[in-house]
């Protein structure tokens, strides 16, 4: 038996009413922490204007590279575990900031590991369905062999890799460009 | 030693059942829809897994929007029930469902809503629940009003309730809107009509459900939700 999926519809401009209660932008200090990285940036539209009514959800493994989910055979669930979920609504100018313990390398295909990354889901008024992308970390040797990054045309790969902010330790910058020059790579799985 | 993932993937929605990003009649898509096609990549553990929620995320009465204040809200009390299923018709238990809506006058309790309809001091318009072991849910609320918006001349959104659902994995995540049967505004709504397939579109419209109604108190509406399901042939990535 096969049922057709329910169509997606936009979150609209008033999602804060229903979704803000579970907002969580600071995942540091929770169990499973390693180095804490702060990632900040803006969501920009096709005119380069900030998207001030956007919502991002992040999903990441713990510092050992395990997800708090029953299908991660090395992971654990229940009790005091690192949930790995964050949700942030953008402020004026489309700005967002999250603090996360840096995830470890995650199981990939054929015994290979994936480079450390954060999965990002983007919602906004004007997005009829969510966009999914990833944040990779700079100066990470494993990026060169990551199976997902290597599927991305070389000239667009940099849209997925956060940049260090000069003079600030453990502060990274990463923008989400919805449309136009430097458009972020979004995935279909 | 690291464990490798060896998991069956999620199937792709049938063509026409989901909107495209660009739908010019919905003006806000014009500057926000990506121009590049999405980059198709294999599913990994990162997308097969997803956040897990529990009862600690839900408060008492979070599924009853009519008893979150001192008095009852104005408007027609309704009960919305349904089942969250996957494409293989399997119930999705413990799915986190978050909802938000306008009040009976068509006004959101939100500082960006400037529609000059009255706020209701007894209505917030926010709810949250986990589905049962059989994937079922039940909400008590008031029927939201239609409201004008600035998409085009004389534009009005049909009455709707926003739904956000987390299923078993990241790829089952769904945000959608539930509409009401027989609403004449549906014909003119670009958000509703952004779904290409007409029968898929109708799955966004709830149905009057006498079994869910409480005689003398509330009408019932049924709204079932289908999330992406696992492919029947196991998909292996090792």
pLDDT tens digit string along B91-110?
A: 999 999 999 999 999 999 99
User: Which residues in chain B have their CB less than 8 angstroms from residue A146's CB?
Assistant: none
* pLDDT above 80 for B122: yes
Q: Which residues pair with B215 in a beta bridge?
A: none
Q: Which of residues 107-136 of B touch A (CB under 8 A)?
A: 108-110, 112-113, 124-128
Report d(CA B209, CA B224) in Å as an integer: 12
Q: What is the pLDDT at residue A151?
A: 96
Determine contact, residues B99/B128, Cβ cutoff 8 Å. Answer: yes
Distance CA B126, CA B39 (A): 35
A155 — contact with chain B (CB < 8 Å)?
no
Confirm or reject contact between A7 and chain B (CB < 8 A). yes
List active site positions of B: 108, 147, 157, 160, 162
Q: What pLDDT does residue A78 have? A: 55
Local confidence band at B238 (pLDDT 50, 70, 90 cut-offs): very low
B99 reaches A (C-beta below 8 A): yes
- What does the alpha-carbon distance between residue B159 and residue B191 come to, in Å, rounded to a whole number? 12
Among A111, A152, A123, smallest CA distance to A13 is for A123
Is B31–A49 a contact, with Cβ atoms under 8 angstroms apart? yes
B28 touches chain A (CB under 8 A): yes
What does the pLDDT look like over B134-181, one tens digit per residue? 999 999 999 999 999 999 999 999 999 999 999 999 999 999 999 999
- Please, where are the H alpha helices in chain B? 45-48, 190-193, 198-202
Whole-Å CA distances, A50 to A46, A96, A107, A176, B118: 10, 11, 35, 10, 30
What is the predicted pLDDT for the residue at A79? 54
Residue A114 in contact with partner chain B when CB distance is under 8 A: yes
Can you tell me whether residue A131 is helix, strand or coil?
strand
pLDDT of residue B235: 47
Q: Write the residue in B29, B98, B195 that is nearest to A19 by C-beta.
A: B98
Distance from CA of A167 to the nearest CA of B (A): 32
How far apart, in whole angstroms, are the C-alpha atoms of residue B149 and residue B142? 21
Q: What is the pLDDT along chain A (189 residues), one digit of tens a residue?
A: 689 999 999 999 999 999 999 999 999 875 555 689 999 999 999 999 999 999 999 999 999 999 999 988 776 655 567 899 999 999 999 999 999 999 999 999 878 999 999 999 999 999 999 999 999 999 999 999 999 999 999 999 999 999 999 999 899 999 999 999 999 999 999
Which of A9, A71, A103 to probe by mutation at the B interface, max B CB count within 10 Å?
A9
Shortest CB distance from A74 goes to which of B3, B100, B127?
B3
Mention every residue, 6+ apart, whose C-beta is less than 8 A from residue B80. Answer: B138, B139, B141, B161, B178, B206, B212, B220, B221, B222, B223
> Which chain A residues are closer than 8 Å to B4 by Cβ?
107-112
ipTM score here? 0.95
Dihedral over Cα of A159, A163, A165, A169: its sign: positive
DSSP B4-66: PP----BPPPPTTSS--S--TTSGGGTTTS-SSPPEE----HHHHS-----GGG--TTTTBTT
State the DSSP code for A112. Answer: P
- Residue percentage of chain B with pLDDT more than 70: 94
Coil, strand or helix: which one is A129?
A: coil
Stated as kind and residue range, the H or E segment containing A16 is: helix A16-19
Q: Which residue has the tokens 């089952």?
A: B172
Is A136 near chain B, with CB under 8 Å? Answer: no
Q: Which residues of A21-55 are buried (b: 16+ CB within 10 A; e: fewer)?
A: ebeebebeebebeeeebbbbbbbbbbeeebbbbbb
| Nearest residue in chain A measured CA to CA from B172 | A5
């Amino acid at each position: 038996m096969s049922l057709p999926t329910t169509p997606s519809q936009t979150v609209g401009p008033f999602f804060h009413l229903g979704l803000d209660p579970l907002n969580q932008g600071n995942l540091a200090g929770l169990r499973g922490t390693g180095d804490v990285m702060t990632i900040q940036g803006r969501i920009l539209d096709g005119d380069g204007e900030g998207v001030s009514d956007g919502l991002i959800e992040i999903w990441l493994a713990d510092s050992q590279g395990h997800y708090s989910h029953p299908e991660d055979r090395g992971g654990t669930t229940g009790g005091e575990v690192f949930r790995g979920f964050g949700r942030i609504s953008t402020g004026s100018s489309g700005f967002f900031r999250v603090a996360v313990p840096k995830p470890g390398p995650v199981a990939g295909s054929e015994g290979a590991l994936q480079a450390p990354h954060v999965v990002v889901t983007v919602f906004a008024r004007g997005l009829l369905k969510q966009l999914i992308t990833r944040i990779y970390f700079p100066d990470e040797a494993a990026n060169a062999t990551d199976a997902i990054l290597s599927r991305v045309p070389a000239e667009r790969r940099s849209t997925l890799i956060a940049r260090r902010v000069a003079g600030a330790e453990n502060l990274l910058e990463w923008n989400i460009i919805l449309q136009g020059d430097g458009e972020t790579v979004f995935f279909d799985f | 030693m690291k464990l490798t993932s060896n998991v069956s993937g999620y199937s792709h929605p049938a063509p026409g059942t989901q909107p495209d990003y660009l739908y010019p009649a919905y003006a806000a898509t014009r500057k926000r829809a990506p121009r590049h096609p999405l980059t198709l990549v294999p599913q990994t553990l990162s997308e097969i897994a997803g956040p897990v929620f529990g009862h600690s995320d839900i408060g008492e009465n979070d599924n009853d929007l009519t008893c979150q204040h001192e008095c009852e809200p104005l408007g027609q009390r309704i009960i919305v029930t349904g089942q969250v299923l996957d494409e293989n018709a399997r119930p999705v238990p413990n799915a986190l469902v978050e909802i938000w809506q306008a009040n009976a006058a068509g006004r959101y309790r939100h500082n960006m809503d400037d529609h000059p309809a009255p706020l209701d001091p007894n209505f917030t318009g926010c709810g949250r629940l986990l589905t049962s072991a059989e994937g079922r849910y039940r909400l008590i609320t008031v029927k939201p009003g239609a409201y004008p918006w600035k998409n085009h001349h004389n534009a009005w959104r049909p009455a709707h309730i926003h739904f956000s659902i987390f299923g078993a994995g990241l790829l089952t995540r769904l945000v959608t809107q539930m509409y009401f049967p027989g609403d004449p505004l549906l014909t003119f709504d670009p958000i509703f009509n952004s779904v290409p397939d007409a029968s898929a579109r109708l799955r966004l419209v709830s149905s009057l459900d006498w079994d869910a109604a409480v005689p003398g108190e509330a009408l019932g509406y049924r709204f079932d939700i289908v999330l992406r399901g696992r492919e029947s042939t196991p998909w292996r990535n090792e």
